[in-house]
């Protein structure tokens, strides 16, 4: 009987010692992953060095409230101290977790208690994006104010663009030489903003061509863009009172294959010997092919694109280049919609506000003001 009592005491002491060991040596916390749509649980833990030295891997086990057994969800290196569980986690369901530390040969060195329950909940608002939201609201207000100012008839100054000013000269030169002009709206679709800007410019160019009695050839890459450009050019001739001078054969669909389009336009330039070429829109690798082919004919060339990788080729091979947003500005300057002018001016002031704000935040950061980094967070799930 005495031996039995001694054995029971020893077992109780061992059990208490193991429980204390698991609590003292491991601290695990968890909860919903913040600023997301849910379906994720964040786990963080701290392991005592005494149990890490013989371990190589950490295995994370999980079970839902209605499940009977734990399942392994992740294998981590022993240096890990956190885990974002997105492995089939469902919202509003409690989950229990525990960790196993294993040696190089796969033996369990230490097993923690069960922790939880932890529940994933979706959030309506991502607080990390509040600075972005505030700046977006300010930007919209500024743009709407300038659109209202433009609609009121007040003159708004916009820096002159050499490429825009050269368009009328290029049309006049072609008229004097008795040669046609070629206008390429790029190789993108109608929903591309660069294509829309190009069509806006084409409208004004067509009016000038119709007034001067010149010839404008518009080969198109996309059939829908062709339908729009055809109506735009036809409308320009009607607007200046010369609908009979419009030639439907000069606005046509060429092909939807990139280099076949480049080859077709290059051949067109070699045959027609145009006096002016306009490459305005979205371009890719064919940009230099077109620009070089046009340069060999001696034509004056005006290009513009928001494709950053192609801008250098247009700069070196064309006479005038609208760089990036200058393409949108050109569409505004050559259009007749005052709302576009107000929007353009408003965007300029939004950029000015952004630059001033960045300078102020940079100065505050240099002065050691805490919390500046959080104002510049634009990420989030």
Is residue 367 one of the residues assigned to a domain? no
Each residue of 35-77: pLDDT tens digit?
888 889 999 998 888 777 778 899 999 999 888 899 999 999 9
Taking only the tens place, the pLDDT of each residue in 7-45 is: 454 444 333 333 333 445 778 889 898 888 888 999 999
CATH of the domain at 206: 3.40.50.2300
Mean pLDDT, the chain, rounded, equals 86
Domain annotation covers residue 149 = no
Do 181 and 304 fall into the same domain?
A: yes
Q: With helix as H, strand as E and coil as C, how does the chain read?
A: CHHHHHHHHHHHHHHHHHHHHHHHHEEEEEEECCCCCCCCEEEEEEECHHHHCCCCEEEEEEEECCCCCCEEEEEEECCCCEEEECCCCCECCCEEEEEEEECCCCCEEEECCCEEEECECCCCCCHHHHHHHHHHHHHHHHHHHHHHHHHCCCCCCCCCCHHHHHHHHHHHHHHHHCCCEEEEEECCCCCCHHHHHHHHHHHHHHHHHHHHCCCEEEEECCHHHHHHHHHHHHHHHHHCCCHHHCCHHHEEECCCCHHHHHHHHHHHHHHHCCCEEEEEEECCCCHHHHHHHHHHCCCEEEEEECCHHHHHHHHHHCCEEEECCHHHHHHHHHCCCHHHHHHHHHHHHHHHHHHHHHHHHHHHHHCCCCCHHHHCCCCCC
For 5-36, b/e burial (b = at least 16 CB within 10 A) is: eeeeeeeeeeeeeeeeeeeebbebebebbeeb
For the chain, which residues score pLDDT lower than 70?
1-24, 374-381
**Distance between CA atoms of 218 and 229, rounded to whole angstroms?**
8
The pTM assigned to this predicted structure is 0.69
Q: 10 Å Cβ neighbour count for 316?
A: 12
Residues 75 and 176 occupy one common structural domain: no
User: Does 305 reside within a domain?
Assistant: yes
Q: Are residues 190 and 73 located together in one domain of the fold?
A: no
228 and 314 part of one domain: yes
Does the residue 113 lie in any domain?
A: yes
Same domain, 103 and 213: no
In a domain, 322, yes or no: yes
Q: What is the CATH number of the domain that holds 53?
A: 2.60.40.10
For residue 4, the model assigns a pLDDT of 46
- pLDDT value of residue 116: 87
Q: Which domain holds residue 183?
A: 156-336
Does 358 fall in a domain? no
> Of the candidates 69, 95, 118, which is a domain's last residue?
118
At residue 87, the pLDDT reads 86
Does 77 share its domain with 214?
Answer: no
Do residues 203 and 251 both lie within one domain?
Answer: yes
pLDDT confidence of residue 216:
94
Domain endpoint, select from 91, 118, 145: 118
- The reported pLDDT for the residue numbered 254 is 94
- Residue 247's contacts (CB-CB under 8 Å, 6 or more residues apart) are 215
pLDDT tens column, 167-178: 888 988 898 898
Say how many domains are in the chain. Answer: 2
The answer to whether residue 375 sits within a structural domain is no
- Pair (68, 175) in one structural domain: no
Do both 198 and 332 map to the same domain?
Answer: yes
In a domain? residue 142: no
Boundary-marking domain end, from 118, 148, 166: 118
Both 186 and 280 in one domain: the answer is yes
- Same structural domain, 86 and 38: yes
Statement to judge: residues 280 and 328 lie in one domain: yes
């Amino acid at each position: 009987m005495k031996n039995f009592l001694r054995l029971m005491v020893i077992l109780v002491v061992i059990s208490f010692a193991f429980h204390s060991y698991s609590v003292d040596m491991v601290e695990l916390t968890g909860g919903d992953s913040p600023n997301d749509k849910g379906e994720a649980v964040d786990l963080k833990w701290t392991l005592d060095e005494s149990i890490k030295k013989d371990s190589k891997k950490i295995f994370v086990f999980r079970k839902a409230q209605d499940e009977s057994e734990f399942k392994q969800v992740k294998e981590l290196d022993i240096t890990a101290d956190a885990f974002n569980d997105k492995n089939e986690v469902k919202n509003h369901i409690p989950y229990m977790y525990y960790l196993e530390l294993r040696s190089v040969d796969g033996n369990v060195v230490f097993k923690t208690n069960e922790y939880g329950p932890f529940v994933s909940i979706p959030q309506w608002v991502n607080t990390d994006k509040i600075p972005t939201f505030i700046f977006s609201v300010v930007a919209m207000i500024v743009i709407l104010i300038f659109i209202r100012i433009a609609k009121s008839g007040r003159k708004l100054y916009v820096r002159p663009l050499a490429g825009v000013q050269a368009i009328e000269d290029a049309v006049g030169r072609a008229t004097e030489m008795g040669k046609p002009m070629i206008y390429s709206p790029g190789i993108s679709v109608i929903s591309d903003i660069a294509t829309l800007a190009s069509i806006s410019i084409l409208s004004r160019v067509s009016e000038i061509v119709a007034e001067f009695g010149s010839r404008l050839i518009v080969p198109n890459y996309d059939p829908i863009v062709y339908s729009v450009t055809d109506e735009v050019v036809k409308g320009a001739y009607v607007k200046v009172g010369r609908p009979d001078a419009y030639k439907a054969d000069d606005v046509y669909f060429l092909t939807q294959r990139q280099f076949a389009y480049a080859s077709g336009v290059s051949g067109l330039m070699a045959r027609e010997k145009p006096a002016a070429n306009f490459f305005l829109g979205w371009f890719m690798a064919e940009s230099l092919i077109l620009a070089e082919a046009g340069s060999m004919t001696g034509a004056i060339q005006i290009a513009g694109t928001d494709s950053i990788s192609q801008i250098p080729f247009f700069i070196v091979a064309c006479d005038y280049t609208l760089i990036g947003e200058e393409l949108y500005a050109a569409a505004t300057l050559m259009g007749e919609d005052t709302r576009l002018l107000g929007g353009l001016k408003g965007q300029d002031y939004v950029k000015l506000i952004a630059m001033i704000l960045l300078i102020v935040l940079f100065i505050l950061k240099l002065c050691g003001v805490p919390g500046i980094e959080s104002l510049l967070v634009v990420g989030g799930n």
